[in-house]
Structure 1
């Protein structure tokens, strides 16, 4: 099952995207509809609201008067907490019930307006944000919902801003143009990303092998890594000692293969095995092993690890799960920090990478060819650690 979070600011046109995904076969879970459902006449939710806020929140017909409820529930923080304490557990339970009822191969789309505001993105395999310019959204709200321009702008200002939404978005859909444009984009998203993503998770299907093609550093890698790491941390739970963005994509200015290298550090390899299924279900299936880290001092003994890969066909990820039992977790952090702090070493490594990538057809051959330089670089990096007193930051 693929879990997709769909969100967007008021007036952005999120419902257009939701409807198109449902046409393709997505199981649509509408947070607003559930919020209304759990307080319908006769429900325990409505009864508890009345018991907390009084009979004055009801219409003459016995339904919830939302304006009357808002006048009482939003007058201070304590009243708002009471409201959330009544609604959120019921909404969450109903959402989980609907998701559990979906088929194992379903693509479940959760239409949730406050996904960004609630910091809920890590709970989904993919977050889609629908957006449009503020002026466009205001016009839509005035024309389709009869709002005043002042009210429309106030509601937009009360929600997450564009920067926060972009930080949360794995997919950004601009809905400022004609409907046919965004519908075609949703069609491509469904066929090229969502359907294979779901199959990759369900079938534990590995990523196809590719040649070592380098691209210039992309500033977007940092945000992509942050979202992936949030999912890794959530899946690993208390077993995660730390989770980090490592390797070439973590070094600004360094060319790299467009594959994010992430590292999850756990206490022991037994702990790594214990989180295998949770990581796989979160979108990072485990690859068949054994997998090893090679010591940089030329010794024969190798360091065992576990290896997972990202199932998202549009965002390749290598997830190295290492334990505190070997020094490999620390060495990965040292190498990345050293590269960031030493532009001359970064540039020398870039020249080597470009030379070797052009000379080798497989990633394995490319990696083996640069291992000698990397081993020597680790020794220089350790000398830098001794000279600077560098220590890993909390992650």
Structure 2
């Protein structure tokens, strides 16, 4: 990943409230663009029960294809979201909120349903949900890396990369 990110790395124990937070954010997205999208998926570590995580919800807003992306982008901009491009990840378009809301922090991506970014998010999430030993190992790795790279989120993300890739290689063998 080439994008330099800022901030302190903070990994906390799993919180059951994350599911409810996702559902609130999903409702806002569906209300805004539900007729244009295929679905809204809770991805990332907060979507895996029992997994320690940075307390930030990751959301994939799934579209049928890039044909509908301009309309989705327009709808999201009307409720205060700014398109940031793909941030170096093919097949995923990042959006940031430009307003204060009552939700916990979240990252939102618009992804085509057959896009590599979305398919990898789902494959990784589902693998972890089905493999408690991987959840334990990944959680321990994240806690250790958060301590090691407390003020360097880019190094934290890069250090997790091999673990994530090993899971995706496992999934792709099946």
TM-score range, shorter chain: 0.7 to 0.9
After TM superposition, give the deviation of residue 257 of structure 1 in Å.
Answer: 0.7
Specify whether residues 241 and 314 from structure 1 end up closer, same or farther in structure 2 by C-alpha distance, changes over 3 A only: closer
1:309–1:316 CA contact under 8 A, matched in 2: no
- Give TM-score scaled by structure 1 length: 0.40
Matched with 2:87 is 291
> Aligned to 2:9, what secondary structure does the other structure show?
coil
Q: Which residue of 1 aligns with 2:41?
A: 244
Are 1:305 and 2:92 an aligned pair? yes
Mapping for residues 67-216 of structure 1, pairs under 5 Å: 209-216=6-13
Ranges in structure 2 where 5+ consecutive residues have no aligned partner: none
Q: Deviations over 1:324-354 (max 9, x none)?
A: 3523212211211111111000011011111
Q: Check conservation: 2:49, 2:129, Cα contact below 8 A.
A: yes
Counterpart of 1:228 (choices 25, 48, 52) is 25
Whether the 8 Å CA contact 2:73–2:83 is kept in 1: the answer is no
Which residue pairs with 2:132 in the alignment? Answer: 343
Structure 1 CA distance for aligned equivalents of residues 70 and 88 of structure 2: 15
Distance 1:242 1:337 in 2: 16
Distance in 1 (alpha carbons) for counterparts of 2:102 and 2:34: 25
- Residues 1:325 and 1:245: Cα distance change in structure 2 (over 3 Å): closer
Q: In structure 2, how many angstroms separate the alpha carbons of the residues matched to 1:247 and 1:265? A: 15
Greater shift after overlay, 212-221 or 318-327? 318-327
Bigger radius of gyration = 1
Contact 1:259 / 1:316 at 8 angstroms: preserved in 2?
Answer: yes
User: How far apart are the structure 2 equivalents of 1:251 and 1:325?
Assistant: 22
Q: What CA distance in whole angstroms lies between the structure 1 residues aligned with 2:158 and 2:63?
A: 27
User: Does residue 380 in structure 1 map to residue 167 in structure 2?
Assistant: no
2:171, 2:143 → 1: CA distance?
21
Contact 2:84-2:96 at 8 Å conserved across structures: no
Counterpart pick for 1:219 among 11, 16, 20: 16
Give the conservation status (yes or no) of the 8 Å contact 1:216–1:256: yes
Evaluate the alpha carbon distance shift between residue 306 and residue 252 of structure 1 in structure 2; reply closer, same or farther with a 3 A threshold.
Answer: same
Aligned-partner Cα distance in 2 for 1:271–1:291: 20
Q: Tell me how far apart the structure 2 counterparts of residues 263 and 315 of structure 1 sit (CA, whole Å).
A: 16
8 Å contact from structure 1 (residues 263, 319) kept in 2: yes
SS in 1 for 2:35: helix
Distance 1:345 1:270 in 2: 37
- Secondary structure at 1:258's aligned position in 2? coil
Map of 2:113 onto structure 1 = 324
Alignment deviations for residues 124-163 of structure 1 (CA, whole Å, 9 cap, x no partner)? xxxxxxxxxxxxxxxxxxxxxxxxxxxxxxxxxxxxxxxx
Q: Post-superposition shift, 1:280?
A: 3.2
Q: Number of paired residues? A: 167
Q: Secondary structure at the match of 2:92?
A: strand
CA RMSD of aligned residues (A): 2.1
Whether contact under 8 Å (2:63, 2:113) holds in the other structure is yes
User: Is residue 315 from structure 1 mapped to residue 111 from structure 2 by the alignment?
Assistant: no
Equivalent position to 2:57, from 245, 260, 264: 260
| Aligned equivalent of 2:160 | 370
